[in-house]
Amino acid sequence: MRKIPPPLLMMRSSLSELRHFLEQRGVLHTRPAVFVDRDGTINVEKGYLRRPGDLVLLPGVGEALAQLNAHGIPVVIVTNQSALGRGLMDQAEFEAVSDALWRALRERGAYYDALYYCPHSPDGLPCDCRKPRPGLLLQAAVDLGLSLSRCFVVGDKRSDLEAGHFCGCQTILVLTGWGQRTYEEIMRAGDVQPNYVADSLLGAVRWIIDHLGTS
């Protein structure tokens, strides 16, 4: 079991480079993983979460990630953190919140294998790493040797679902955070649809484990 938090990672290559690498690698890797959004999926949605003391895990999150850990399924957090790009939070504050998240999970017997984040503001120059763009997922797939077609994306926002669909992952909408509003929006629009809707991260993980056991 991992004892120290993994480094905080950003997208380091262009989309074309990542796609080329994954295409060249072909079917050499069959490793699944679960990409998990942070705010509203793991912790209570707080807007811009800038202070470690404001971090509150949602019910069942520790148990959910511990189940994935026990099954040897990598947990990869992928999160948009526009407060960095907007100048509302500095890197040290983000790292302090991330450390608090790590400690809170470890206290519950759980951990994550990697954390990828986009630091850019949507009001700035376009980037390829802010969800729904797929850059964070593609970078993680290259770094960790993942098969995206066997991966799952869990989140409470449309952008999570769209990023997952772009990469060929199965997607799960959780009804925590903005999830209920997202569910109502996508039902009205009838466009991007998740493979499964769960009441929480724990419900999503149970579905994932069952699905992998029968696939």
Rg, the chain, Cα only: 16
Tokens of 176: 């925590």
State how far the Cα of 130 lies from the Cα of 170, in Å rounded to an integer. Answer: 19
pLDDT digits (tens, 9 = 90+) for 167-209: 999 999 999 999 999 999 999 998 899 999 999 999 999 999 9
Q: How confident is the model at residue 26 (pLDDT cuts 50, 70, 90)?
A: low
CATH for 8-19+29-214? 3.40.50.1000
* Residue 50: per-residue pLDDT: 94
Which residues, 6+ apart, have CB-to-CB distance to 18 below 8 Å? 135, 138, 139, 141, 142
Tell me which H or E stretch contains 114.
strand 114-118
Within 10 Å of residue 1's Cβ, how many Cβ atoms?
9
Interval 79-111: pLDDT, tens: 999 999 999 999 999 999 999 999 999 999 999
The pLDDT tens digits for 33-76 are: 999 999 999 999 988 999 999 999 999 999 999 999 999 999 99
Q: Which of 52, 54, 72, 43 is nearest to 201 (CA)?
A: 43
Q: What is the predicted pLDDT for the residue at 215?
A: 59
Domain-wise residue ranges, the chain: 8-19+29-214
| pLDDT of res. 3 | 58
Global pTM? 0.94
Mean pLDDT of 5-32: 82
The string of pLDDT tens digits covering residues 106-159 is 999 999 999 999 999 988 778 999 999 999 999 999 999 999 999 999 999 999
